[in-house]
Structure 1
Amino acid sequence: MIGLVAIDGAVRPLADELHAAWPESSRVHRASMGNCFQPPDAMSFALSQYRRVVAFAPLPTVVSLLQHWHVDVPRGTTLLCVDPQRRWVIPLAGGKAAEELAREVEAVLGVTPVLTGYPPEPEHPAPTPPPNVRPDTPADTPILRVIDQEDPGHSDILVFPRNLVVGIGAGSGTERAEAMRLLVDTLEENGFARSSVARLATVAGKANHPAVRWAASCLAGVPVDEHPAAKLAGVPVPNPSAVVGTAVGTASVAEAAALASAPGGQLLVAKRKSATATVAIARAAVRGRLTVIGLGSGEPDQLGTHALTELRSASAVVGRPQAIEAVAELLRPGTRQAAVAAPGTVLSASGRVVPWACVAVDGAGTVVDHIGAAAQLAAHGHAVALAALGDGAGLAVPPGPYDVHRVPGLPVDQQGASA
C-alpha cells in the first residue's frame, strides 16, 4: 500500500489523480492548516503506516516538515515529493526502490523524475526473531500481534483492539488545536495507536465544548461520555487538584473520567497538562468470546448450522493453516484469518508452503501456539473462533477475561461417525 499525502488543498487533485490510477494499492491522506490532521501529523502518520509514501507539496515544505518538525523517516521507507506544478517527482529516501516508484509516478502523472543516483543500501544485521522461533522458520514469515500500541517495526499482522479511553478536561478558553495537540502528543509519547481509542470521557457539560468535539471528530468520531462531577469526585485518582475541585466540583476530570468510562480497567497514563487542557488514558476491561469449533474432516459442506453461525459471527478465526484453509470460503468479508503455524512449520495439508501462515506472539514477544493466539485476541474483547480439525475436544483453552464455548462442527446425528 502506498500513502499519498496532500499537504494542502491545491495539490489534492494531483493526489486524487494518482489514487484513481492505483485505487487498490494507495490511500490518500489530506492535510491542511487549521485541520486536526495538520501537515506534520499527516506526514508522520503516513510514514508510520506505509513503506512507500508520496508527498504532494513544494520540496522546501517537505524538507521543513522532516527537519523542523522532527518527522522521522523509518529505515527502509521510500519517500517521494511531487511538486504542485506537476513538473517534478523527486526521490527523497529509499534508494533504488524510490527511483523505481518515481518512474511509476511519471507514467501516471507525466512528471519528470529528478534522479541523482544512490549508493548501495547499507547492510543491516538481520532482525532478532521473537524468542522460541525455530531458526529454520522462513525469515519473511509474518507475525501476529494483538497490541494497542504503534507497530514495533518488525511485524505485519496487527490487530488493534479499541480498548483505550481518553479522559479530557477543557477550560472555557481552551482552543481545539491545543487540546488535540496535547492528546496526540500523549498518545505518541506513550506509543499508543489512535485507532485503539474507543471513546473520550469528560465531566458533565463539557461534551459540547468545541475542543472536545474537535478531538472526537479527529479520532474518527468516537463517542464522548459525560460523568456528573459528584460521580467523578468519588473516583480515586493519583493526581487530584484542589483548585479543580473548587472550580468544577471534582478534584479530577481527565483521570477520573477516563477511569469512570473504563470500569474495572486501569489508568495507563496519568494526567498530562497543557496551558488550559488535561488528558489521561485508561485501558478498559473487556470480555471477549472464544468458541472452539471442531471441523471434523474439514469438509465445509458437512458443518452443522451452529458451527457455521459461530464462524460467520466471529471477528477473527484462528487455527492451524489446514483448518483456516478449510473454512476460509465460509467467512464473512473482513473477518481476520490467523493461520498460526506450528513452530518451524508453514505447510498446508497438501505439503505446499503457505505464505500467509504466521507465527503468533504474546504481549511479551514470546511465541504462542494457535490456542494462545486465540486467547490473546479474546482477551482483548474480540469474538474469536478457534477452528480445529477433528472434534477439538483436546484443545485446552486457558482461563481469561472471555467466555469459552465449544461447538462440534458436525450436525448432532453425524458426530458419532467422526469420533
Structure 2
Amino acid sequence: MIGLIAANGSVRPLAAELHAAWPDSSKVYRPSTGSCFGLPEAIGLALHECEFVICFAPLPGAVRLAEYAGPRGTEGKGLLCVDPRRRYVIPLTGDAGTTELAWEVAAVLGVQPVLTGPPSQRESALAELTRRAAPVAGPDGPATAAPAEEPVLRIPDPEDPDDPDSDLAVLPRTLVLGVGAGSGTEQTEVMRLLMDVLRETGLSRQSVARIATVAGKGEHPAVTWARWCLGRPPVDEHPADALAAVPVPNPSADVATAVGTASVAEAAALASAPGGELVVAKRKSAHATIAIARTALRGRLTLVGLGPGPHDLLVPRALEALRRVSAVVGPPDALAAVAGLLRPATRRIAPEDSAGAATTLASHGHDVALVALGDGAGLSVPPGAYDVLRVPGLPLEHREESEGDPA
C-alpha cells in the first residue's frame, strides 16, 4: 500500500489525482492543523500502515517530517516528496523500490524525478532542477503551455466561468510515440527521454494514443515500461521492410544496416498515424530513440449503450472504446456506471445536451464516447467531421436475459 499525505488543502487535488490513478493500492491521509491528527501523526500512521509514503509538501517540510519519524520509523520504508507546484518528485530514501516508484509518480503526474544521493546533495539538485524547469524560449518568444496547433478544447467551469484556470481542458489522443530500443536500452530510458521531450515541447502525455516500433520490439522492457506509464495504450509493431518505405527526415545508414530500415522511431510513428505529420523529429538518448507524430485531426464518436445489468459484463469492443477515448459524455448515472473502467486521465462530462457536447468534441478532433444506460437505441448524432461507431455494451445473451426480466 502507498500512503499519500496531503499536507494541506492546496495539495489535496494533487494527491487525489495520484490516488485516482492507483485507487486499489493507495490511501490518502488528510492531516488537520491544530487537531489531534496533524502532520506528525499522519506520517507516523502512514509509515505504520504502508510500505511507501508520498508526502505532498515542500522539500524542507518533508525532510523535517522524516526526521520526526526517526530512523526506526522509516526503516524499511520508502519515503518520497512531491513538490506542491508540480515540478518534481524526490525519493527521501535510497532503495531501488523507492526509485522505481519515483519514476511511476513522474509518469502519472508529469513531474521530474530528482534521483540524488545523500540528503546533503538534494538541495543543490533541487536548485539545478528549478533552473532547468524554466520555460524554454523558442524562436518566436517564450514557450507556452502547449503548441499553438495543439487541438485543446477548454470547457468553462459552470461554478466559476470567469476563471480560466478552472476550465476543463480536454486533450484529444492524437499522438503516436515512435520508439527505437536496442539490446542495451535500460527499462526506464525511453520514458525518461519522453518526459524530457514533453517538457521541452509542451505536449501532453495524456494525448499519446499509441506506441509504435519495429517488429520484435513490442515486448522490449523499455517499450513495456513506457506503455505502462502512459496508461497502457496499444503498441503497433511494423515490419522493417514496411518502415523502410516510409519517407523520414532523419534516416540513418547505420540503423539500416543493423535493422533493415533507415528509421525506426520516425517511420514507426508515421506508419501508425496515417495521414498525419511528424511533430517531434527523432530524439536520442544513450541507447534509445523516440519521435512523435500526430494523426490527421478527424474525430471519432463512439455510441455505447450500457444496458441495464452489471457493467463489468461489457463486451470487449465497448471496454476497448472506453479505455481509448479522451472524453466520455453522458448523464451522471451513466458516467458513474463506467467510472471504474476509464483511464485516470479520461475526462467525464455530464452536460445538459450530451449529444451536442459529444459532437462538438468530436468535431475538434477528439476521440469521444457518448454513453447511456439501456440498449442505446436512443443514441443518435448528426453526421459531421468525425467517424461514428455504434458499440453495444452488453453481450447478446445478457441483453436477451435483461429484456426478458420483468423487473
TM-score between the two structures when normalised by the length of structure 2: 0.49
Q: Pick the structure with greater CA Rg.
A: 1
Question: Which structure carries more relative contact order (alpha carbon 8 Å, separation 6+)?
Answer: 1
Say which structure is richer in helix: 2
